[in-house]
Homo-oligomer: A and B are copies of this chain.
Amino acid sequence: MKVEALTQEQLGEIHQATLDLLEKKGVAIHHTPSRRLFQQYGALVEGETVRIPETLVAEFLKKAPRSFSVAGRNPVRNIQIGEEYQPVLGPAAGAVFVSDLEKGRRPGGLKDLQNLLALSQLSDYIGVATAGILTPADLAPENQHLTQLWETVKMSDKPIIGLSLGAKISEDSIQMARIAAGDQGAHYVIGIVNSLSPLAWDERMLEAIWAYAGKGQPLVIACCSMAGFTSPTTLASTLVQNNAEVISGMLLAQLIHPGTPVVYGNTSTITDMLTMNLCIGAPEYALLSTACAQLARFYGVPYRSGGGLTDAKEVDAQAGIEATTNLLFTMANNVDFVLHALGIMESFLSISYEKWVMDEEIWGRMLHICRGIGALPGGAVDLLSTVGSTGHYLDQPDTLLNFRHVFSRPALSDRGNWDSWVKKKKTYPEAAHEIWQARVRNFTPPALPPQVESELKQYIKDVKR
C-alpha cells in the first residue's frame, strides 16, 4: 500500500518555498541562547527573529540519522525508529480529561495515570511509556512531574517518552530515564516538542530542545498548526509554514549536537471555523499527514504523525470513522513513530478507556491487511479440483489447520447473527469497558530492580531539595 499527496514537483516547490520563507522572513525564536547559536552559524538575527540561510539547512539537516534505537529498562523492550522498521506506537498523550463508560468524563487523576500506564505496558502494540499521558489534576503542581516520571518508570519497562516543558522538567525526565535504562545504549529517552504556529518557537520548548539535544537524546519535533487560524487556509501554504517550523527546530538540535536523532512531526489540520476547534478527525488531517510523510522522507529523517485521532465525544460511529481513516493512513504512510495511537478523543482534549480498546482493534485490522494475500500454496488447483463444485471446505484439512491463525478475529466487533447479538445485550463501548477493566484489575507492574529503585528515589529526593 502506498499513498502520495504530493507529486515530486509539488514536493520540490514546497521545499523551495520553505527555504525562501526561512531565509527572507525567518522564524521567531523566543530564547536568547538559541538565537545566539543560530547567529554563530551564519543566521541573521533581528530582534527575536532568526533568518536562516539555505546553506545552513543544506549543511546541518543531513547530520540527522535516518533511524535510531531507544533503550527501555528491559532490553527486550528496546525500540528502533526509522524508515526500515515497523511503526512504533505510543498512546494518547497530553490530554486534560479522561472518560470511561462508568464514571463519564472528568479531569484525569493519579489513578488514571496509573491505569493508562498499565494499559500501555500491557498492550502489545504500544512501544513506549509516556510520562505525559496525562497531567493528574489531583496532584499539587509543584513536583507533579516527578510523580509522573516515577509512575512511568515504575509501571512500565518500555522506553520512556519524557516530559519537555522547560529546562528543569526536561532534565529530570532525561536523568530518571537514564537511571531506569542503565548503560544500555546512546539513547534512553525521547523528548517531544512543538512549534508555536505561526512561525515561532516558545522558550520552554527551546529549553527542552537544548536539554535533550545537549545529551544527544532523540527529539520528536512537530508542528500543530490550525489551517484558517494559525496557518493559511490553503493546505499547500500551510505545509510550507509547517515545514519551516519543523526544519528550524530540527536544525537547532543539529547545531546543539550534530547527529541528534530528530523525528519530523506533524499534527496540523483544519480549524472548525464555527467553534475554533482543531479538527483532528477531518480528512484534511490524513492529507496533510501524507504530504508531511513525503517531506520527512525527502529530508531523510523518521516521521511522526497519525494515530486514532477523532473529534468524537463518545465511542460512536464518528469515533470509528475518524480513527479508522487516520490509522489506515498511519499504516499506508508507514509512519515511523505514532503518538496518540490509542485512546485519544475530542480534538486531543480527552482520553477514553473504551476508545483505547477500540483503537487497538482497528490497529489489529490494519496489521491484518498488511499481511496481504499470501502466496498461492503448491497444491491449490488440486485442492480446488478435489472439492470441485459439489463439496465444501469445512472438513478439508487445509481449513481445520489454518483458519484460526489465518482469519482475522476482532476483539470487539460482532460477526454473529442478529439473535445472538440481541441476546448478548452488549454495545460496542460496553464490550470495550469489560476488556480494559479486566486488564487493569489483573495488572502487576514489572519488577523494578531494588538498586534502580533506590537510585531513582535518591534522585527525586535530591531534586526536591
User: CB < 8 Å: which of B198, B233, B399, B415 contacts A272?
Assistant: B415
Interchain CB contact under 8 A, B317 and A429: yes
User: CB < 8 Å: which of B273, B328, B407, B429 contacts A284?
Assistant: B407
Which of A395-411 touch B at CB < 8 Å?
396, 398-399, 402-403, 406-408
Min CB–CB distance A117 → chain B (angstroms): 25
Which of A1-45 touch B at CB < 8 Å?
1-6, 10, 13-14, 17, 20-21, 24-25, 27-28
Please name all residues of chain B whose beta carbon is closer than 8 Å to the beta carbon of A321 when the two chains form the complex: 320-321, 323-324, 358, 361-362, 365, 413
Interchain CB contact under 8 A, A383 and B324: no
Copies of this chain present: 2
User: In the complex the two chains form, what is the Cα distance from A237 to B413 in whole Å?
Assistant: 26
Interchain CB contact under 8 A, B365 and A283: yes
User: CB < 8 Å: which of B13, B318, B406 contacts A428?
Assistant: B318
Interchain CB contact under 8 A, B376 and A10: yes
Write the A235-271 contact mask toward B (1 if CB under 8 angstroms, else 0). 1110111001000000000000000000000000010
Interchain CB contact under 8 A, B380 and A27: no
A316-B316 CB under 8 A given contacts A415-B277, A416-B277: yes
User: CB < 8 Å: which of B5, B10, B320 contacts A324?
Assistant: B320
A401: nearest chain-B partner, CB-CB: B233
Q: Which of A1, A105, A286 has the most CB of B within 10 A?
A: A1
Query: Is A394 at the interface (CB under 8 A from chain B)?
Result: yes
Query: Is A322 at the interface (CB under 8 A from chain B)?
Result: yes
User: CB < 8 Å: which of B286, B291, B380, B390 contacts A232?
Assistant: B380
A391: nearest chain-B partner, CB-CB: B198
Min CB–CB distance A196 → chain B (angstroms): 8
Write the A173-213 contact mask toward B (1 if CB under 8 angstroms, else 0). 00000000000000000000000001110000000000000
User: CB < 8 Å: which of B286, B390, B427 contacts A369?
Assistant: B286
Q: List 7 A-B contacts (CB under 8 A).
A: A229-B394, A233-B407, A235-B373, A240-B381, A244-B384, A270-B407, A317-B319
- Interface positions of A (Cβ within 8 A of B): 1-6, 10, 13-14, 17, 20-21, 24-25, 27-28, 49, 105, 198-200, 227-237, 239-241, 244, 270, 272-275, 277, 279, 281-284, 286-288, 291, 311-325, 328, 332, 346-347, 349, 358, 361-362, 365-366, 368-369, 372-377, 380-381, 383-385, 387-394, 396, 398-399, 402-403, 406-408, 412-418, 420-422, 427-429
Q: Beyond the given A13-B376, A227-B407, A234-B402, please list 12 additional residue pairs across the A-B interface where CB-CB is below 8 A.
A: A49-B389, A198-B384, A240-B380, A275-B417, A277-B415, A284-B368, A284-B408, A311-B413, A321-B323, A321-B362, A324-B328, A325-B365
